[in-house]
Amino acid sequence: MRCQRCGEREAIVRVKLPQESETDEKFLCSVCVRELAREYQGTACPSCGMTRQQLLHLRKVGCPTCYSFFKDEVDGMVRQFQHGHTQHYGSRPDEESVEKRLNQQLSRLKEQLNRKILAEDYEEADIIKQQIESVEEDLRHV
């Protein structure tokens, strides 16, 4: 069988090359394999110096520029991790619970109450105390 890259020499190695949609399998001669290996290993990100080989071994990028510089490789990794999809649709954090929000509000009001008492602003302290009682009542019903 002839080399599928140069078409001149006898193919001796089967190589899987990453492509946009999947891996492409080719039969290559020893000369083309060496050239291809140099191409894949010698390319480095201009910002951080990460090589293609390091990227594929570590399975993570070295800097933001790597995303565009190694676009095909990163897309392939994302596709592999996301079962064929190129975008991540992960879960969002749950919305903050009502109880947590009320507890935070209660904590803030208690701090305000302490400041008003220390400042001897008893009228404002009384208003804040009523707000605290209201929030505590809401918490009992959650």
- Pair (1, 38) in one structural domain: yes
- Pair (29, 52) in one structural domain: no
Q: Identity (one letter) of the amino acid at 123? A: E
- Pair (68, 84) in one structural domain: yes
Q: What is the pLDDT of residues 16-70, one digit of tens each?
A: 766 545 667 889 888 988 887 777 666 778 778 888 888 888 888 888 888 888 8
Q: Which domain holds residue 114?
A: 98-140
Domain count across the chain: 3
71 occurs within a structural domain: yes
CA distance 137 to 102: 10
Q: What is the pLDDT of residues 91-123, one digit of tens each?
A: 655 556 788 889 999 999 999 999 999 999 999
Q: Are 128 and 109 in contact (CB under 8 A)?
A: yes
What pTM was computed for the model?
Answer: 0.37
| CA–centroid distance for 108 within its chain | 34
93 occurs within a structural domain: no
HSE toward the beta carbon, residue 49, CA cutoff 13 A: 0
- Pair (5, 28) in one structural domain: yes
- Pair (4, 34) in one structural domain: yes
Three-state SS annotation for 99-115: HHHHHHHHHHHHHHHHH
CA distance 56 to 50: 10
